Structure 1
Amino acid sequence: MLEVPMYRVNGTRAQLADLLAKVPVNSWVWSVIEFDGAGQMPSNYSTLEFQKKIREQPHGLVLTWSEILKFSETIEYTIDCLIIAVSSIDKLEVDKLLADDFQECEVALRAIDSTEWILFSSSQTLLNKLEEAALQS
């Protein structure tokens, strides 16, 4: 697990789409467990409606790879979020994830207060690529 600043040395911001661009095409189960930010939310929800929808789901908002990519492209600004990928939905335990227990995850991306990203991957190679995406301009 790595912590990296959300703002790069040159002042640009590492966005969710920048991070996901480094993840290979996959068939993992993706879930948005928490989200606060600005942009076009799915189904034209307001941010508050979207947050409520996420909380109502036992596994967060479960998405496919193409759906999480599409979501990331519509986000203009991330304040806080927790987005994870697991190999199967039975590994998606929200309480553990909210406590930053990512052992069952393939990938976990957490934004904290518009200041940093916490990055996790079960693959060291992918974790290195995520770190590179966060830091490069």
Structure 2
Amino acid sequence: MITQAISCPRGESISLITDDLERILVRISIERSQIPRVERRDGAPPKHWNILMRQFRFDALRADGSIRELSNFLEPLSGADFVWSILDFDGVGIAPNNMRMDEFTAMARSQPNGILLRWQELVSFSAHIHQTYDCLIVGAEKESDIDRTKIVAGDYAAVTVVIEAVDMSYWNVWAPNDYQVH
């Protein structure tokens, strides 16, 4: 086995590992900015949730190799008239209001109730996202139902919808029982 490390600008490092079958594994590790991260529950079920909600779990990759994106999880909720909040977002795409994505991420993580949006704003945001690494988005009847501390701790009792992407591996959605992703 031959290993070669390549340094790149901005602290990126690429390791190329080649084995006898001439397979190449590229591992990119990018030093992330010092933005505080939302504490994750690592897929643990929420402590409390709305009785009308049910958990749905989806692998980030479909069987055909395509990637599930945020917009896929919003389609079944079309027109959902909730107050929406992005409590965490780490991904690739175009952030709203000419912000850089790292600025948008920092804002979502630092605001007590996250970044509040109406349905059309959330749909527009999702249309400009190319890839999602981590996210935590909730929909609630009213803004006062959104409590970052409770939600991050797994208490979903006051919200109606929770959409969570975990480490670009899978998506968790807590939504009304009739929710269906195609």
Q: Which residue of structure 2 aligns with residue 77 of structure 1?
A: 131
* % identical aligned pairs: 29
Deviations 1:62-100 (A, max 9, x none): 000000000000000000000110001111010111123
After TM superposition, list the pairs within 5 Å mapping 1:28-43 onto structure 2: 28-43=82-97
Structure having the larger proportion of residues in strand: 2
Q: Using the alignment, how far apart are the partners of 1:99 and 1:52 within structure 2?
A: 20
Q: Which residue of structure 1 aligns with residue 155 of structure 2?
A: 101
TM-score normalized by the length of structure 2: 0.67
Aligned positions, number:
128
Letter in 2 for 1:120: W
RMSD: 1.1
Identify which of structures 1 and 2 has the higher relative contact order when contacts are C-alpha pairs closer than 8 Å and 6+ apart.
Answer: 1
Letter in 1 for 2:149: D
Computing the radius of gyration from Cα coordinates, the structure with the larger value is: 2
Q: Which residue of structure 2 aligns with residue 124 of structure 1?
A: 177
Q: Using the alignment, how far apart are the partners of 2:133 and 2:78 within structure 1?
A: 25
Q: Which residue of structure 1 aligns with residue 166 of structure 2?
A: 112
Letter in 2 for 1:19: F
Aligned-pair distance for 1:2? 2.5
Letter in 1 for 2:172: I
Q: Which residue of structure 2 aligns with residue 88 of structure 1?
A: 142
Unaligned stretches of 5+ in structure 2? 1-54
Unaligned stretches of 5+ in structure 1? none
Letter in 1 for 2:137: I
**Structure 1: 4+ residue segments shifted above 4 A:** none
Q: Using the alignment, how far apart are the partners of 1:56 and 1:6 within structure 2?
A: 26
Q: Using the alignment, how far apart are the partners of 1:94 and 1:31 within structure 2?
A: 10
After TM superposition, list the pairs within 5 Å mapping 1:8-47 onto structure 2: 8-47=62-101
Between 77-86 and 39-48, report the one with greater CA deviation: 39-48
Aligned-pair distance for 1:54? 1.5
Q: Using the alignment, how far apart are the partners of 1:55 and 1:24 within structure 2?
A: 26
